[in-house]
Amino acid sequence: MSQGKLLYAQSGGVTAVINATASAVISTARAAGVKAYAARNGILGALREDLIDTSKEPIAAIRALAHTPGGAFGSCRFKLKAIEADRARYQRLIEVFAAHDIRWFLYNGGNDSADTANKVSQVAREFGYPLTCVGVPKTVDNDLAVTDCCPGFGSAAKYTAVSLREAALDVASMAESSTKVFVLEVMGRHAGWLAAAAGLAGRGPDEAPHLILFPEVPFDEATFLARVDDTVKRVGWCAVAVSEGLRDADGRFLADAGTVDAFGHTQLGGVGPAIAQLVKAKLGYKQHWAVPDYLQRSARHLASKTDLDHALAVGEAAVKFALAGKNAHMPVIIRTSDSPYRWKIEPAPLAKIANHEKKLPKNFISRDGYGITEAARAYLEPLIRGEAPPPYGKDGLPKYVTLKNAAVVRKLPAFDLADG
- Residue 220 designated active-site: no
Confidence class for position 261, pLDDT limits 50, 70, 90? very low
Average pLDDT, the chain: 94
**Tens-place pLDDT, residues 168-197:** 999 999 999 999 999 999 998 789 999 999
Burial of 62 (0-12, 13-18, 19+ CB in 10 A): buried
Cβ density class 6-31: b for 16+ within 10 Å, e for less: bbbbbbbbbbbbbbbbbbbbbbbbbe
| pTM reported for the whole predicted model | 0.94
| Domain covering 5-151+302-356+386-419 in this structure, CATH number | 3.40.50.450
> Average pLDDT for residues 361-367, to the nearest whole number?
97
How far is Cα 230 from Cα 226, in angstroms, rounded to an integer?
Answer: 6
Region 266-281: what's the mean pLDDT?
83
Which residue is catalytic, options 115, 141, 143, 229? 141
Would you state the pLDDT for residue 189?
A: 78
Convert the pLDDT of each residue in 227-251 to its tens digit.
Answer: 999 999 999 999 999 999 999 998 8
Q: Read off the pLDDT of residues 76-99 as tens digits, 9 standing for 90 and up.
A: 998 888 889 999 999 999 999 999
Mean of pLDDT values over 323-352:
97
HSE-CB for 362 with a 13 A CA cutoff = 1
270 or 283, greater pLDDT: 283
Domain at 153-300+373-384: CATH architecture: 3-Layer(aba) Sandwich (3.40)
Domains 5-151+302-356+386-419 and 153-300+373-384 belong to one CATH topology = yes
Please check the confidence at residue 264 and state whether its pLDDT lies above 70.
no
Per 3-state DSSP, the chain is made up of helix, strand and coil in percentages (nearest 5) of 40, 20, 40
Residue 250's contacts (CB-CB under 8 Å, 6 or more residues apart) are: none
What is the predicted pLDDT for the residue at 205?
86
pLDDT grade, residue 221 (50/70/90)?
A: very high
The domain locations on the chain are: 5-151+302-356+386-419, 153-300+373-384
